[in-house]
Structure formats: C-alpha cells, structure tokens
Amino acid sequence: MAIVQCVPNFSEGRDLEKVEKIVSPLRGKEGVKLLNYEPDPNYNRLVVTVIGEPQKVKNAVLEAIGVAMDVIDMNVHEGQHSRFGATDVCPFIPIKGMTMDDAVQIAKELGQEVSKKYNIPVFLYEKAASKQERENLATVRKGEYEGLDKKFEDPNWAPDFGVAKKHPTAGAIAIGARRPLIAYNINLDTQDINIASNIAKTIRHSSGGYRFIKAGPVEIPERKITQVTMNLTDYTKTSMYRAFEAVKMEARRYGVNVTGSEVVGLCPMEALIDVASYYLGLENFDLGKVLETSLME
C-alpha cells in the first residue's frame, strides 16, 4: 500500500479556534492520519503533517484548504514568515510504495481541483514545477501576498492551474512534491550571532557549502546560545553527520563548541541509521537489518 506524507502550511498561527477548524478535515478519516500540527504565533503560521493513502490524503487536504480559504483573510495577515496565500504551500512527499513521479501526479491533481473548486491560482513547485525557475519556492513566492497583483501582470508568472488573478482573500498557493526534508539545528556555545552566521555560510549550498544544505543563524537568548538552523533537503546525499561534523570543524576557528543539536518535526529512520552506521563504522549494514523494517512491509 502506498503512503504519502503531506505538509501543508497555513497562514494562521495565533487564533487557535481557526487552527482547529483548519485541521478538523484531517481528523478521523480512514486512511488519513494527522501526525502533528504546530501553530507558530511569531510566524503566524501553522505547519501540519499528515500521512496516509495518497488519494485519501489529497481529498482531506483539499477540504482543509477550503476551510483555510474561509477563515483566513490574507489582506489582514501579518507574521514573520514569507507567505502569499491562506494555504501557503502544500508539498507531497513519497514515503512508501510510491515514486516521486507518483507524488508529482498527486500534486497536479490537487492543484487542478483547488483552482477549479476554490478559484485559487496554483503554482507547482520543486519536483512538480513546470519550468526550472519555479522549482525554488522562494522564487515562486517572491513579492508575497501583497505583490501578487503585480506578479500576475508578468505573463511569465501565469499560474499552472487557474487564471492569473489572486483570490481576493486566500491569495495563491504553491503545491509541489519533494523528498523528505530534515529540519536540523546545531547548538553553539556562543551568543555571537555573527559566528553562527559565518558558520552557516560555510556549510550551505548558496554560499559554497554542501549541495543539499540550506542554513542560517538563529539567536536563542533564553539559553544564551546561538544555532545554525538548517534544512537538509536530501539526506541521502548530504547526511546529518556531515552537517554536524562540518559545523564542529568550522566552529573551531572561533574557539566555539558544538553542544548538541535538535531535529524539528519528524525525521526519516534511514537518516538516523546512516548516522549510527557512520559513527560505529558499521560494515554491510542496510535498512534490511533493522528489525522494524520487516514490520512495515
């Protein structure tokens, strides 16, 4: 049986009543499991993780997108995170028994249904993108909600589904398919954000680092530390241990220590087993030797 993960992000992280309304279509449905949802008041954003059978997940998420359209008005939305729609992004991640192409297919089906049912213009991104310049979410969302009218004047930015006109309260939506992403933060025993920033620059792809690391600095004043905060966008090519050891190696230059790390949200078993396998120097080890693998077949 195929299993897909879907991580829709909604532009509401403060009004918990609205949050509950948005996640409600993702509850109690056969073949659909709501794993996690985290409203963030600073970002004024809600990140939801749902998992299950592809068609059933798609239908439940379609409903949730409808609720978000009804309860969120982007004209009055403010928060610290970039966004251009009530449902801002909606990636599908193939987990089991399906390929990336299958996930792209689900993303396209959802895109078509969203534009048809709700009149929200849809951009396809990452692996589902229709052209290369739409692969990067940051590019697709550039200008944010407030810049949508202008964006749609450019024929290059016609949506993949629907007409080139923002929804009057829900804006636009980016729907895509991608690999599982690991949100991974590494703690530094310094309060100097410049050090965290310099280290982030050395390891991230955009400034010369590893191909599948996005990274930046974060202050955690209550703990008197800083963090290098990362997205590992393909852990099969850039492993967690590589990010960890690279940050340790760079931190030495500043006499700073790495004191620990954390995973935000969920992490695929394979990524962690690769870490164990590296540090123990395991020979001939693969997922087939993990007892639980046989329970998931």
Residue 208: alpha-carbon gap to chain centroid: 22
**Residue from 2, 62, 95, 164 binding its own copies (CB under 8 A):** 95
Residue 138 as a binder of its own copies (CB under 8 A): the answer is no
Residue 291 as a binder of its own copies (CB under 8 A): the answer is yes
**One-letter-per-residue 3-state SS of 162-188:** CCCCCECCCECEEEEECCCCEEEEEEE
> How far is it, in rounded angstroms, from Cα 95 to Cα 35?
14
Give the HSE-up count for residue 215: Cα atoms under 13 Å, Cβ half-sphere. Answer: 30
> How far is it, in rounded angstroms, from Cα 119 to Cα 133?
24
In the complex, minimum distance from the CB of residue 48 to its own copies, in angstroms, rounded to a whole number: 14
Read off φ and ψ for residue 22, nearest 5 degrees: -65, -45
In the complex, minimum distance from the CB of residue 248 to its own copies, in angstroms, rounded to a whole number: 10
> How far is it, in rounded angstroms, from Cα 91 to Cα 198?
30
> How far is it, in rounded angstroms, from Cα 159 to Cα 131?
12
In the complex, minimum distance from the CB of residue 63 to its own copies, in angstroms, rounded to a whole number: 21
Judged by beta carbon, residue 249 or residue 276, the one nearer its own copies is: 276
Nearest 5°: CA angle at 192, between 190 and 196?
85
In the complex, minimum distance from the CB of residue 290 to its own copies, in angstroms, rounded to a whole number: 5
> How far is it, in rounded angstroms, from Cα 33 to Cα 50?
6
Look-up of token digits 């987990």? 95
In the complex, minimum distance from the CB of residue 43 to its own copies, in angstroms, rounded to a whole number: 20
Judged by beta carbon, residue 70 or residue 245, the one nearer its own copies is: 245
**Residue from 54, 171, 180, 217 binding its own copies (CB under 8 A):** 180
Judged by beta carbon, residue 161 or residue 244, the one nearer its own copies is: 244
For the question of residue 205 being annotated catalytic, the response is no
Residue 97 as a binder of its own copies (CB under 8 A): the answer is no
In the complex, minimum distance from the CB of residue 103 to its own copies, in angstroms, rounded to a whole number: 15
> Would you mind telling me the total number of residues written for the chain in this entry?
297
**What x/- string results for residues 55 through 94 when contact with its own copies is judged by CB under 8 A?**
----------------------------------------
**What x/- string results for residues 249 through 288 when contact with its own copies is judged by CB under 8 A?**
---------xxxxxx-xxxxx--xx-xxx-xxxxxxx---
> How far is it, in rounded angstroms, from Cα 243 to Cα 292?
26
Count of residues interacting with its own copies (CB under 8 A): 42
Judged by beta carbon, residue 216 or residue 268, the one nearer its own copies is: 268
> How far is it, in rounded angstroms, from Cα 152 to Cα 140?
12
Q: Which amino acid is at 210?
A: Y
Contacting positions for its own copies (CB under 8 A): 3, 5, 33, 35, 51, 95-96, 180, 187, 240-241, 244, 258-263, 265-269, 272-273, 275-277, 279-285, 289-292, 294-296
Annotated active-site positions, please? 81
